[in-house]
Amino acid sequence: MDVVGDLLARERRSRDAALVTADGRERTYRDLITNAYKAANVLRYLGAREGSTVAVDATPRLHTTLAFLGAAGVGAPVRFDPAAGIERGDRVVLVDVADEPTTEPAPGTNLAVFGGPPERPETTHWEQELWSENPGMPPSGVGPADPVVREGDAPVTHRALLAAAAAVVERHGIDAETRVVLRGDFADARALAAGVVAPLSVGGTAVLTARADGEPAERRGDVAVVAADSEATVPEPVRATLPSFAGD
């Protein structure tokens, strides 16, 4: 794999579980890939292009995952910090509908919300657009050296994110039978690489949860990914070592 969008290759669509959300609902690779294509098209409709930035709520949910994968597919790096996205004038900002009243996009920024219909007519209803979109990935010229995640002013490239995920796969023996549980959020790109990109890259399952300190002590998978500074005890038998990026 050269870019994160390679995770969405059509031949990877199957009935195997790709993603489990915090409510325990499973999505297959066919579901995840098809809906990531739709997310890419919604983002293109909202103005996301190669080089423009999409700011997304950092909570690990179905729609934030789809937004990340869709944005990666069209070459738009993701910033998991909507407030910073508003401040910096990112092209698209995606938040929970509960946050719409306190989210004021600047001119040139398109606001979208998930979790229900928006109050303002100018705000895009993410789910409504997603389910009606074309299930085909739009063309993109994104390359391995292009940014896929923005953390502050430091971009993480497609190559670096995939290399970090590959290191986690090798270190912990992750394969198609492994369930990797993300007990944190997407704000740390290392956790994103270990908790989502790593299992998806080998046909495994990414399991999303709330933050570790708010989770019941029940095992949900085989490998747990938590923030580097967290001292929380996890019920999974293995706690993943967070990767570093080239040049760290």
pTM comes to 0.95
DSSP state of 213: G
Cβ neighbours of residue 139 closer than 8 Å, sequence gap 6 or more: none
pLDDT score recorded for residue 216: 56
Check: CATH 1.10.10.10 for 29-132? no
pLDDT score recorded for residue 230: 81
Taking Cα atoms as reference points, which of 178, 21, 202, 24 lies closest to residue 114? 21
Please tell me the least confidently modeled range out of 44-48, 70-74, 138-142, 197-201. 138-142
Extract the tokens encoding 209.
Answer: 């949860």
pLDDT score recorded for residue 154: 81
Q: Where are the domains of the chain?
A: 29-132
Q: From CA 237, how far away is CA 248, in angstroms rounded?
A: 28
Tens-place pLDDT, residues 128-137? 999 988 788 8
Tens-place pLDDT, residues 16-48? 999 999 999 999 999 999 999 999 999 999 999
Q: From CA 238, how far away is CA 141, in angstroms rounded?
A: 38
